[in-house]
């Protein structure tokens, strides 16, 4: 796809024009983050590896949602190690984190793999943490919405309030992956934490939204980053089974689409290290032909 013009400030609301494909940012004093939405199985991992070859050295931090990274459902230790070898710093997740049962065996031992923080007390793993990269401390919080997802979860708004009281004592840079179904719940959360969170980005629907914005209080926001995987699919899955489900109402086994060309979706964000405010947020989208991946074996 053709590269659009450089992003331009569109006024006091902090909007930035999106570029479908943006060059790596120059390194500087601000924290530069590449946040990636749901990666779908092997195609999603291939797309991620392809993009990281260009961007890994140009950003300070890479965060990836990995709940669909192993066969489209959950994560395994092998896939976790593969993603770390690519240069992924931190991993978030959502409702599919438990789909591969072996995750119970290692999630407590890997602090860089998060599950939603608003699961009830006693659930394995951790939902947030304060980390340090290149001498700069930052907090990452993983939360899950409740609308059309899981009513057994604790209130994500109240959970954020509780965690914020703790992590804000250590750093002004607070990043939130808000894994949720509805745009209204995501937008409500974004405005609720505006001025407290540095960045709120949505995951879960697999469909990228074009509403990236810097909110009035300085919080970077996007409703959904979108998925990485085969673009000619039904949110990463083979269309035939999904269509059968919709046309006949019979339960189907969904499988990851692996034969089509790929798409990568992420966001590039710059955050002021002193104030914790977002200075810039842009969508990064690349369509990748399979023949471009000859050297990217995953």
Q: Answer whether residue 176 is part of any domain.
A: yes
Quick check: is 262 in a domain?
A: yes
Q: Write the pLDDT tens digit of every residue in 242-264.
A: 999 999 998 898 999 999 999 99
pLDDT reported for residue 50: 96
Q: Is residue 238 part of a domain?
A: yes
Q: List C-alpha distances in Å: 16 to 11, 61, 278.
A: 9, 21, 12
Active-site annotation, residues:
96
Question: Does residue 24 belong to any structural domain of this protein?
Answer: no
207's CB contacts (< 8 A; 6+ apart) are 224, 226, 227, 235
Q: Is 132 helix (H, G, I), strand (E, B) or coil?
A: strand
Q: What is the pLDDT of residue 24?
A: 57
Question: In CATH, what number is assigned to the domain containing residue 236?
Answer: 3.60.21.10
Give a yes or no: residue 107 inside a domain. Answer: yes
**∠ CA 253-145-38 to the nearest 5 degrees?**
50
Rg of the chain over all Cα atoms, to the nearest angstrom = 18
Surface-to-core class of residue 180, CB atoms within 10 Å of its CB (0-12 exposed, 13-18 middle, 19+ buried) = buried
Per-residue b/e over 234-255, b at no fewer than 16 CB within 10 Å? bbbbbeebbeeeeeeeeeeebe
Domain that holds residue 118: 31-290
Residue 11 lies in a domain: no
Question: How many structural domains comprise the chain?
Answer: 1
Are the beta carbons of 267 and 225 closer than 8 angstroms? yes
Specify which residues 287 forms β-bridges with: 263
Residue from 175, 192, 186, 191 nearest 277 by CA: 175
pLDDT of the residue at 240: 93
Asked whether residue 13 is domain-assigned, the answer is no
pLDDT by residue, tens only, the chain of 298 residues? 233 333 333 333 443 434 445 555 544 579 999 999 999 999 999 999 999 999 999 999 999 999 999 999 999 999 999 999 999 999 999 999 999 999 999 999 999 999 999 999 999 999 999 999 999 999 999 999 999 888 789 999 999 999 999 999 999 999 999 999 999 999 999 999 999 999 999 999 999 999 999 999 999 999 999 999 999 999 999 999 999 999 999 889 899 999 999 999 999 999 999 999 999 999 999 999 988 876 555 4
CB atoms within 10 A of CB 207: 13
pLDDT digits (tens, 9 = 90+) for 51-89: 999 999 999 999 999 999 999 999 999 999 999 999 999
List alpha helices for 131-212, DSSP H: 156-167, 183-192
Is 1 part of a structural domain of the chain? no
């Amino acid at each position: 796809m053709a590269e659009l013009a450089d992003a331009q400030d569109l006024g006091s609301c902090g909007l930035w024009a999106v570029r479908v494909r943006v060059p790596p940012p120059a390194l500087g004093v601000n924290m530069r983050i590449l946040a990636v939405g749901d990666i779908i199985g092997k195609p999603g991992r291939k797309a991620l590896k392809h993009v990281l070859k260009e961007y890994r050295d140009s950003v300070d931090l890479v965060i990836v949602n990995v709940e669909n990274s192993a066969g489209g459902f959950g994560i395994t230790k092998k896939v976790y190690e593969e993603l770390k070898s690519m240069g992924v710093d931190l991993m978030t997740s959502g409702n599919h984190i438990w789909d591969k049962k072996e995750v119970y065996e290692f999630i407590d031992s890997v602090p860089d793999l998060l599950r939603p923080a608003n699961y009830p007390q006693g659930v394995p793993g951790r939902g947030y943490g304060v980390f340090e990269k290149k001498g700069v401390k930052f907090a990452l919080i993983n939360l899950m919405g409740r609308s059309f997802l899981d009513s057994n979860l604790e209130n994500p708004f109240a959970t954020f309030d509780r965690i914020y009281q703790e992590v804000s004592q250590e750093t002004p840079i607070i990043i939130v992956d808000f894994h949720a179904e509805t745009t209204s719940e995501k937008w409500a959360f974004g405005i609720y934490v505006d001025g407290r969170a540095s960045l709120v980005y949505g995951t879960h629907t697999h469909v990228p939204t074009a509403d990236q914005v810097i909110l009035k209080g300085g919080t970077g926001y996007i409703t959904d980053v979108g998925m990485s995987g085969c673009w000619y699919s039904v949110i990463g899955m083979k269309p035939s089974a999904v269509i059968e489900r919709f046309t006949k109402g019979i339960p189907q086994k969904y499988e990851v689409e692996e034969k089509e060309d790929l798409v990568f979706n992420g966001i590039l964000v710059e955050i002021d290290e002193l104030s914790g405010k977002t200075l810039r947020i842009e969508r990064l989208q690349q369509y990748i032909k399979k023949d471009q991946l000859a050297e990217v074996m995953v």
